[in-house]
Amino acid sequence: MRSERRPLSAENSEFARARVSAEADLRTQQEHAARTVAGHAHDADDLRGLLDMLGLEAASRA
């Protein structure tokens, strides 16, 4: 069975935009959560452990 490429319809494009927006929102929430955790951590080891437990990464903004 061969799959054919179909041009994006307005519905597919809307879905793609919504997905990109949701992914950006998720990154923003995760960065906020990491900053909140950092504000409550006792030291660097505590921060690493908490972030690891929560499945978060340290925000790396320059």
What percent of the chain clears pLDDT 70, i.e. is strictly above it?
Answer: 79
1-18 pLDDT, tens digit per residue, is 566 776 667 667 888 899
How many whole angstroms separate alpha carbon 22 and alpha carbon 30?
Answer: 12
Domain boundary assignment for the chain: 10-54
Q: Which residue has the tokens 């340290």?
A: 58
Which sign does the torsion angle of CA 35, 40, 42, 47 carry? Answer: negative
Averaged pLDDT for residues 42-61: 88
pTM over the 0.75 mark: no
